[in-house]
Every structure is written in structure tokens, then in C-alpha cells.
Amino acid sequence: MLQLLRFRRTQKRLLLSVLPLAMLLAVAGPSCTQTAACACLDGAEAVTLVLPVDTVHNDQLLESWQAYRDRFIQADGRVIDREDSDRTVSEGQAYAMLRAVAINDPDTFNRTYTWAKANLVRVDENGQPKDLLWAWKWGQRPDGSWGDLDANFATDADIDAATALIMAAERWNCPKYLDEARALLADIWEYGTVELPDGTRQLIPGPAEDFRLEPAQIILNPSYFAPASFRLFAEVDPDRDWQSLIDSGYALLDDLSEFSTTGLPPDWIAYTPATGTYRQLPLDYPLQSRYSFDAFRVWWRVSQDAAWFNEPRAQAYLEARLPELIRRWQQEGRLPARLTLDGGAQASYEATAHYAMLYPALLRVDAAIANEILTTKLQPAYSDGFWDSDIAYYTQNLAWFGLLPLEVSPDRIAASHEQACRP
């Protein structure tokens, strides 16, 4: 079993720095046999879908994954957004990979990853690959052909894909996934981050030239901040300062807590690195500074860092910012799907995805409220394998991640290797 990602393992870090990967595999522990279910082995036998932990949500997570796989993932591995012209987004491919490795579905992992590598490649004017990042949107063009519709990358998708590859390397003892993750990390760092005036790094949501509001201002998305993933990246890619992305990300969240009346994170914000100041995006700009469907993911990503790494800044952020939503819930018994920076409801409807992303965070702050949301909002929205409806691509993913126990950590994924390798 690959042990590269096991936490609190100083000796493993030493091995990583001095031994070739093949030798590391030999010393790390038991490995899959040629007849076992390793996704990187041709002709691997079918395996049992299973999470590495046992919780009350297991049956629902298994059923909904199978329903999602049948409804949203083509045989060739393309994930289809059935709410938006049957397009495919890089986020969807990465989400499928994360879900597949968590539930021990190496075949689906390999199919979705292979499709993305083959179809979301970004090419230059000569048709040659620019990098390993994925074009974020693919679908049917006006002339009827199918291909990329926007070749810009979305950093969150590439981060999630790299995270899934690292965990897949451990769960299925597949060193090629780790090699490919490292190569992807080099491009995420090169093109998906910028250096700040103090010499640290800041994550950006896509190509720097396309996310500038003004020459001195860059556009940021707080929900792309994935501190738990950055810690995994530091384990396997120690030559880059991933810790600086963690520090700048938490600084961003803290600064934005003072920027809005509610203290809630916005979907998008404009940032001036030279002065360290923020401004709301213009109201007529395509991207908006409001608390909505992107920002929901902040709770999930920060909760992972709190649960997996005991990061005090993560827990402190949840304890400081969730009370605003708890107060609204207690007063109204519902939460709008969109809020302005000053706290006004910008939508009359609710969002299952919102409640799902809040659920794991609330479990760490107010378990009673978390259970209320589970029983009154999440459970009633679920039927026959789907939340809300069988076309709600985004909701299926966020609801699944929200109910996936935070105990499903890279450590537990690695420890499940022997079970995963049983055909």
C-alpha cells in the first residue's frame, strides 16, 4: 500500500525524498496482486462498492452514487450536466473522481479521468497541449460539433482532480496516479497561483489574464480555497510552498468576514494585492459578489481541514461565521439560496446544495441544528437515488459530499487498501 499520504509520518517523508517510487511501494506495505481490483491494472476484476467508514448514511451514499453513475456518466466516462444543454464541465469530471475513490469504484474513476485527459486538453495555436490543466467547459458548438466551449481552466476542478489522483494512488496501489498528480500540481502552481507582494502565493480561479477586473485587481473565488488538499500536495510535492496557499487562503476568509455585513463568504470578489484591499464586483459584471452556490462550498472545504488536520483556523472560522446562518435558521426555519453582502435575501427559494454543504460544518459547531437540517431539508429532498430531481447535476454532487462523513479522510482511504484490493 502506498503510504505517501499518511499523516504524522516523518519517516515516510524521508522515504519520499530519497527513494524511487517503485522502491517505496515495496517498503510501504501490502500491495495489490495482478488479480486484484487496482484501477491502473488492465483487466481488473469488479470490486465491491464500499466506503472506508460505516455510518448511518452509507446506504444512501451507495444508492445515490449508483443512480448518479447510471444517469449522469456515459459509458466513455463523460459526466453530463443535464440541467445545462448536456454540457460537461471539468468540475464534474473531478467530482466523479473524488466520489469514485471514496466509494471504491476504480472503473468509474479510470473512465472519468481518461475521458477528461483526452477531451479537456488545452492546446495552443499549433494544436499542441499547453499544459495539463483542463478546459473547464465542453459541449455542443453552434455548428453542431462537440468539443471545448471555453479553453480556460477552473482551478478548483484541477485541485479536486489532483486530490482524487493522490487518494486513488493509495487506495488502489497505483503509482501512475501519483506520478500524474505530481505533474498536474506543477501546472496548478505555475498557472493557478500568483505571487503576492510579500512573496507568498495566492490561489487564482483561472488564467491570470482572464481574471483581472482592472490591471491592478484580480478576481478571486473563496470557495476554490482547498486547504486540506494543499496539505496533501505538500506531502507529495515538497519543493513548492503549498503552505503559503493555506496561509493566504485563511487570511482571505478572515478579511472577507469583515468585508460584508453578514461575515459570510462571497462567490466572487475583486482583490488589489498591492494594498491588500477588496471591492465588490460591479453589479453588471457576469460574476457577482454575493453569498450563493459557489460560496456554499467554503463550509465543506474548511470542515475537511478541521476534521482531517485539526487546523485551529478552520474550526475558529466555522465557529465565528456559522452563527449568522444558525440565527437565520432559528428565526425563519429556512435559508435563502442567495444573500447580498448586506444580508438581504436575493432569492425566495432554498437550495438543497446549500443545506448539504452546511451539514458537515454544523456537525462541528451545533449538532442539533445539523440534525434539524438533515431531517427537515436533506432527507425530504431525497427519493430513489436523487436529491431534488434526476437532472440536478450540481445538487447530486454537493449533497453527496455533504453527507459523506468527514471521517472519510486520506488516512482512512489509505487504510482501506487491503479491503479495496479484494475482488
Question: Which are the catalytic amino acids?
Answer: 91, 156
Helix axes 297-309, 227-236, angle to 10 degrees: 50
Q: Which three cell numbers stand for residue 373?
A: 437540517
Q: Where are the beta strands (DSSP E) in 76-158?
A: 88-89, 121-123, 129-140, 146-153
How many whole angstroms separate alpha carbon 332 and alpha carbon 323? Answer: 14
Side chain identity, residue 292: S
Grid coordinates 517503485 are at which residue?
22
- What is the DSSP-derived secondary structure letter of residue 105? -
How many whole angstroms separate alpha carbon 296 and alpha carbon 302? Answer: 11
Q: Which three cell numbers stand for residue 99?
A: 466520489
Side chain identity, residue 331: Q
Cβ neighbours of residue 143 closer than 8 Å, sequence gap 6 or more: none
Q: Which three cell numbers stand for residue 306?
A: 478541521
| CA dihedral over 264, 268, 270, 272, signed as positive or negative | positive
How many whole angstroms separate alpha carbon 213 and alpha carbon 288? Answer: 12
**What is the SS3 assignment for 132?**
strand
Grid coordinates 484591499 are at which residue?
277
Beta bridge partners of 5: none
DSSP string, 373-421: HIIIIITTTEETTEES-TT-HHHHHHHHHHHS-TT--HHHHHHTHHHHT
How many whole angstroms separate alpha carbon 345 and alpha carbon 222? Answer: 20
